[in-house]
Structure 1
Amino acid sequence: MFELTRYDGRRRIRGSLYLSIGLSLLAAMVIWVYPSFKAEVDLDQLLAAYPEPVLQVMGVQTMASLGGFLSFELYTFGWIILLGLYLAYSTAGTIADDVDRGRMDVLLSLPISRRRLLGERFAAMAVPIVGANVIPPVVVYVGARLIDEPLAAADVLAVHLLSIPYLFACAGIGLLASVVFDRAGIAQRVALGVTFALFLSESLLSGTDAEAVGAIAPMRYYDPNEVLLEGTYDLANAAILVAMTLLFLVAAQVWFTRTDIA
């Protein structure tokens, strides 16, 4: 059982380590510049200078505290946008790349169903998703204390744990694109475009008459500001993201089982 998951997972360990280190360096840099940024810049005046649509898109509430600064500079940019797009893009090659390169016939010759094959390949994405959230929380917690702007350990842990369902949902978008399109390049570009379009739709439609359209976007259900500024953990939103991921997985399995592999 789970032979494909173990095989794919092992192949992703090194890349996941590099990803975690890169995100940790980004976190360290953001924390390092915060004291001088706070001392030299009028943060309220800076926010007032930004157009309201920009603040809405980036989910900025305040930068006068380290928690608000990290929510904007690290988690919105690094986790919601960059990591979400990366996982959608990476997962989009899961099936499409094997079909594109003519390797899928070998996998389909194994004594496992297409549903299981797809499920095990998708499960291997837990390696980069979890791996990206191993080192950075330690860096954030320790770094905040080193600059005398301590954050609650529970909040730091929560903002990373709650990102995991969000990142799986983004990966689910990529998985669906991977079975719908049999060219890896096309699947990856579609996954990137759809994920970014969902981010924009949720950000720009919030507070408008069309706000309900943004309900299909995973970004609606992961808000670092709630955790770092208010100390609230919305488990209901996490459950919605889990359900969304399962929906993407089942839809991809149904499509994959009914598709002829050329």
Structure 2
Amino acid sequence: MLELARYEGRNRLRGSVYLGIAMSLLAVIVIWIYPSFADSFDDVDEELLTAYPDEVIQLFDVQTMASLEGFLAFELYVFGWTILLGLYLAYLAAGTVADDVERGRMDVLLAMPISRARTVTEKFAALAVPIVVVNVVTPVVVYVAAELVGEPIPAADVAAVHLLSIPYLFACAGIGLLASVVADRTSIAQRAALGVTFGLFMLESLLVGTDYEAVGVIAPMRYYDPNGILLESTYDLVSAGVLVAMTLALLAASVGWFRRRDV
């Protein structure tokens, strides 16, 4: 069992380690530069935020930069995790099925005693490798680096901001998976996944506080709040459950579509 998932996972391991190193380096840079600005932020935090256009504040959910937690929430977790990693996982997932179909490998795979549902599910499961690796390596680096610059962050908050990002990243990957089974070409699937994921981020960010805010309920970004975790130690398990349900729905839709399509 899970032979395909193990095979795909092993192939993703090296890239996942590189991803973990890259995001850890980004975290170190953000934490390292913070003390240089910390005193300035204490004095002008409100004025600085006022100086930014309201659209920018709303888009990136900037709440404060007068603490390392607020600075990290903006610079690392909203930008790095919510946007960059979300887009990366959607892009990565978009190639899981479409690439094999386009290159003719899917015919060989389906000639084996393995169902289409199992093929899609195990290929999706292999994406746990980059998601888990990046969320195991980076929090250790964040916690240690924060201690070294004299701005300690509670270990529980660091752990929570990463643990609760896992269902969010799987939901983004689910968007890519659906694009992968719908599109005939990998490039089309990847562009569609990037466009939909970023479009949902923009939708959620720009509709908050408007009469159309309810539309953002379909966006995974609504259910992952780094500011709430790091600034208020609020761990929203209900939202995590919504993301799990969203991921399962996207996986089920992908399986259903792939069962009916010609390869």
- The TM-score normalised by the length of structure 1 is 0.98
Spell out the pairing of 1:1-262 with structure 2 (5 A cutoff). 1-40=1-40, 42-261=44-263
Q: Distance in 2 between matches of 1:236 and 1:39?
A: 37
Q: Distance in 2 between matches of 1:35 and 1:96?
A: 46
Q: CA RMSD in A?
A: 0.8
Give SS of 1:133's match: helix
Q: Deviations over 1:47-82 (max 9, x none)?
A: 111011110000111111110000000000100000
2:46 aligned partner, one-letter code: D
Q: Deviations over 1:149-199 (max 9, x none)?
A: 111000000000000000000000000000000100000000000000000
2:94 aligned partner, one-letter code: A
Which 5+ residue runs of structure 1 have no aligned equivalent? none
Q: Distance in 1 between matches of 2:94 and 2:137?
A: 26
Q: Distance in 2 between matches of 1:43 and 1:31?
A: 18
Identity percentage of aligned residues: 69
Kindly tell me the number of residue pairs found equivalent between the two proteins: 261
Which 5+ residue runs of structure 2 have no aligned equivalent? none
- The TM-score normalised by the length of structure 2 is 0.98
Q: Distance in 1 between matches of 2:144 and 2:107?
A: 49
1:24 aligned partner, one-letter code: S
Give SS of 2:114's match: coil
Q: Distance in 1 between matches of 2:139 and 2:105?
A: 38
Contact 1:4 1:117 in 2 (8 A): yes
Q: Deviations over 1:59-106 (max 9, x none)?
A: 111111110000000000100000000000010000000111111100
Alpha-carbon shift at residue 147 of structure 1 (Å): 1.4
Contact 1:44 1:64 in 2 (8 A): no
